[in-house]
Amino acid sequence: MNFIKKPKTIVIKSPLKGKLVNLVDVPDPVFAEKMIGDGVAIKPLDKNVYAPVSGKIVQLFHTNHALGIEIAGGLELLLHLGLDTVKLKGEGFTALVEEKQQVRTGDKLFEVDWDIIREKAVSTITPVVITNMEVVEKMEVLVEGELSVGDDLYRVITS
Residues 2-59: tens digit of each pLDDT? 555 677 899 999 999 999 999 999 999 999 999 999 999 999 999 999 999 999 999 9
**Percentage of the chain exceeding pLDDT 90:** 92
Mean pLDDT of the chain: 94
CATH homologous superfamily of 8-158 equals Glucose Permease (Domain IIA) (2.70.70.10)
Confidence at residue 2, expressed as pLDDT on a 0 to 100 scale = 53
C-alpha–C-alpha distance, residues 121 and 136, integer Å? 32
Q: pTM here?
A: 0.93
Candidate list 76, 79, 80, 153, residue with the active-site label? 80
What residue ranges do the domains of the chain occupy?
8-158
Residues 6+ apart with CB under 8 A from 105: 13, 50, 51, 52, 53, 54, 150
The reply to whether 80 belongs to the active site is yes
Average pLDDT over residues 51-73: 95
Residue 142 has pLDDT above 90, yes or no: yes
